[in-house]
Amino acid sequence: SPLDVLAVYRLAPVIALGRVEDAAPLAEALVVGGLPIAEVTFRTAAAAESLRIMADCGDVLPIAGTVLTKDQASAAADSGARMVVTPGLNPVVVEHVLKLGLPICPGVCTPSDIEAALSFGLEVVKFFPAEAYGGVATLKALSGPYPMMRFMPTGGITPANLSSYLALKSVVACGGSWMVAPSLYEGGDFGPVERAVREAVTLAKP
Ligand code: 3PG
C-alpha cells in the first residue's frame, strides 16, 4: 500500500509545480535520486495534469497533496493518485476520499483532530505544520494518549531536524519540500534536485 511505501522511504517530497512541463523531468530526478514518491499539491493550476503525468510515468508513487475539497479529491483520483494528503481534517473530504477507495492522510495538530481521525479508523495522520506546532516535543506528548496513532510530520522539516523526527517510533515518514523546491530547477537543470533528493534519502536511512 502507499503507506507501506512511505514507511520504507520515510520521506514524502511535497511538490508545488507551476509548469506541467516540469512534471516529467522532476519525476525522473526523484527516481534517479532514489526517492520514487511524489506528493503533488493542489495549490497550482498545473496540479491535476502534473499528477497524471507522474502517475502515467509509472515510476513514482503518485500522491495528491493539499486537497481541500471533494472536487479536488475526485480530480486527484481521476489523475491516478494512489493516496490523498490534506492539511487539515475535513470530515466531508475524508469521507469522500474513503468512498473513492483511496487512503487518506489528513493533517492534525491537536488531540481533538487525532480523535476525529481515530473515529474514521485512520492509522496514519499528517502532523501539520509540525515545527510551528511544537515539533518533536509536541509529537512525543501526543503519543502519550494516542500510542496507536502514527504520524507524517510536515511543515518546517529540514535536513537539520529530519533525523530528530525520524527517531520517533510514532513517525512513519516526514514530508518536506526542500529537496524539490522550484528554485532548484528554475534554470531547467534538474541536477540540483537529484542531488538534494539523494542527500535527503541518505539522511532518512535508518
Ligand atoms: C505541505 O504542504 O505539506 C507543506 O507546505 C510542506 O512544508 P514545507 O514546505 O515546510 O516542507
DSSP 106-159: EEE-SHHHHHHHHHTT--EEEETTTTTTTHHHHHHHHHTT-TT-EEEEBSS--T
Cα of 154 vs centre of ligand 1, distance in Å, is 6
- What is the identity of the amino acid at 109? C
Residues of the chain above pLDDT 90, percent? 99
Domain ranges of the chain: 2-204
pLDDT-derived band at 206 (thresholds 50, 70, 90) equals confident
Reading the block at residue 102, the C-alpha cell is 483511496
Fold held by 2-204 = TIM Barrel (3.20.20)
Q: 99 catalytic, yes or no?
A: no
Sign, CA torsion 62/110/172/198: positive
CB count within 10 Å of CB 96 equals 21
pLDDT tens digits for range 159-182? 999 999 999 999 999 999 999 999
Atom of ligand 1 nearest to the CA of 41: 2
Give the integer Cα–Cα distance in Å for 136 and 158.
13
Residues with CB under 6 A from ligand 1: 14, 41, 65-66, 154-157, 175-177
Is 197 in contact with 30 (CB distance < 8 Å)? yes
pLDDT tens digits for range 53-103? 999 999 999 999 999 999 999 999 999 999 999 999 999 999 999 999 999
Determine the angle formed by the axes of helices 23-33 and 47-57, rounding to 10 degrees. Answer: 50
Cα of 187 vs centre of ligand 1, distance in Å, is 22
pLDDT-derived band at 156 (thresholds 50, 70, 90) equals very high
Judge if pTM exceeds 0.90: yes
Taken as a whole, the chain contains a residue count of 206
Residue 116 sits at the vertex; the CA angle it makes with 130 and 98, to the nearest 5 degrees, is 95
Of 182, 189, 194, 190, give the one whose Cα is nearest residue 14: 182
Cα of 43 vs centre of ligand 1, distance in Å, is 11
Question: Complex ipTM above 0.85?
Answer: yes
Q: 21 catalytic, yes or no?
A: no
Give the integer Cα–Cα distance in Å for 132 and 97.
27
φ, ψ dihedrals at 126, nearest 5°? -90, 130
